[in-house]
Amino acid sequence: MPKLPENVKADWEKRAGAVVFSTVDPDGTPNSIYATCVGLFEDRAVVVANNYFDKTMKNIKNGSKASVVFITDEKKAYQVKGSIEYHDNGPVFDFMKSWNPEQHPGHGAAEIKIEAVYSGSEKLV
């Protein structure tokens, strides 16, 4: 399984604000949300806390793939694409609980397994 390149990993640490997390329903209709409760798991997956998923959760249950877009404080943008695994227990869930703010429910963790990484139109992975 691909890992996030070192330069992108360094830029992940310099991301500015929320990421955009997108999924698609079975009819092909996209759904995008801003997510602030996110983490990088073992350099191989982006984890998004399920604090208030609705359409996103339905799309995950229907087998959607995902993209996560983030921008650095230096205005460099990246897109990570991959398949989603959902966890309500286990190591990925515990990882999410370790940084998800206590005031949020943290029902589960959407793990986006890195399959491709882009910076603009340039494919990095």
- Give the pLDDT confidence of 6-64 residue by residue, as tens digits: 999 999 999 999 999 999 999 999 999 999 999 999 999 999 999 999 999 999 999 99
Query: pLDDT tens across 90-111, in order?
Result: 999 999 999 999 999 999 999 9
Q: Is residue 30 part of a domain?
A: yes
The number of folded domains in the chain is 1
Cβ within 8 Å of residue 6, ≥6 positions away: none
Q: Nearest Cα to 124, choosing from 79, 83, 84, 82?
A: 79
Residue 1 lies in a domain: no
Q: What is the pTM of this model?
A: 0.94
Give me the CATH number covering residue 23: 2.30.110.10
Find the domain containing 103 and state its range. Answer: 6-123
Q: Are 86 and 48 in contact (CB under 8 A)?
A: no
Closest CA to 111 of 93, 89, 91, 85: 85
In a domain, 49, yes or no: yes
Q: Judge whether 44 lies within some domain.
A: yes
Q: Is 87 helix (H, G, I), strand (E, B) or coil?
A: strand
